[in-house]
Amino acid sequence: MKIGVVTFGSGGILGMAQEAKDAEAAGFDLFVVPSIYGHDPLSVMAIAGTQTSRIRLMTGVAPTYPRHPSAMASAAMSAGSASGGRFTLGIGLSHKVVVEGVYGMSYDRPAAHMREYLDIVLPLLAGEAVEHRGEQYSYRGALRMRDAVQVPVVIAAMAPVMLRLAGERTDGTILWMTGAQGIREHVAPRINRAAEGALRAAPQIVTMLPMALTSDPQGARQKANEQFENYGRLPSYRAMLDKSGAEGPGDAALLGDEASLRAQLTELKESGATSFAAWAFEDGTDSKQRTRAFLASLAPEF
């Protein structure tokens, strides 16, 4: 299982690129940038790609609705070229409350939307010309880049239909608020079965969770419930918390001392996770930096 970190961009766009550089120097395998009403994650990845040489870079995730699939493919190819082929495009539907309430767009038939989105993105990233006229998107053209590289694609797939789509057509899934039980019993069986049926390679299962190295796990759990409260109310994450046996975000978080965290990471790996990226959060005892340092020390082990 590859080990990485998630950033939420408190230091600005150049600061986020520096975080990627620091994560690489610390020994992490993966650096993930989400899309949370801030800098465009693909732009961050392009800059970070020029500042690093080894670490794998991933968006976790770039929402599909506000960006035409041809524009997404172009930006992804740029980030891939800037990093020399170390970039993975993570995309997702976002949520109905965001798509309709923020973007003013219809969230009707989201799985059909993703299928059609992939109909354009995947062949463009493969260097193929596309002629597509669908219900939601139309496009005719191709990307012409002399320095084109392969860009893997993972989608934020959690529901059965999306997991089947991810396994059949993409390189895997990227998860949030999904613990070992949810991966073992719900995610891994479905996506692996879909990939096998489509004669595709074993898919990536990238999971992201809050994490804190702490001597007070109960207090940290309360802090996590407070800081990540909103995720416990969004339907897709709420469903995954339920499948993971978690009452709230704090129950899904990885919390405890060194031995406990190592055991929890081992359980994630054994559940089927192929990569883990920690959202190291502050529990009130300066835990963030300690958590990252300890996790980096475990990267060679996992």
CA atoms within 13 A on the CB side of 197: 13
**Alpha-carbon distance 126 to 150, whole Å?**
7
Does 271 map to a domain?
yes
Q: Which of 65-79, 113-127, 282-296 has the lowest mean pLDDT?
A: 282-296
Same domain, 34 and 121: yes
Does 67 map to a domain?
yes
Q: What is the pTM of this model?
A: 0.96
**Alpha-carbon distance 203 to 195, whole Å?**
7
Amino acid identity at 289: Q
End-to-end CA, the chain: 5
Provide the domain limits for residue 75: 10-153
**Alpha-carbon distance 99 to 222, whole Å?**
30
290 by Cβ neighbours in 10 Å (0-12 / 13-18 / 19+) ranks as middle
pLDDT band at 36 (very low <50, low <70, confident <90, very high): confident
pLDDT tens column, 289-302: 999 999 999 999 99
Mean pLDDT throughout 219-247?
Answer: 95
Same domain, 66 and 111: yes
Structural domains counted in the chain: 2
For residue 143, which of 157, 160, 133, 128 has the smallest C-alpha distance? 128
Same domain, 177 and 118: no
**Alpha-carbon distance 269 to 1, whole Å?**
6
pLDDT band at 285 (very low <50, low <70, confident <90, very high): confident
Q: Among 153, 177, 211, which residue terminates a domain?
A: 153
pLDDT tens column, 83-96: 999 999 999 999 99
Residue 64 sits in a domain whose CATH number is 3.20.20.30
Q: Among 103, 129, 153, which residue terminates a domain?
A: 153
Between the alpha carbon of residue 287 and those of residues 16, 49, 217, 226, 299, the distances in Å are 20, 28, 11, 16, 18
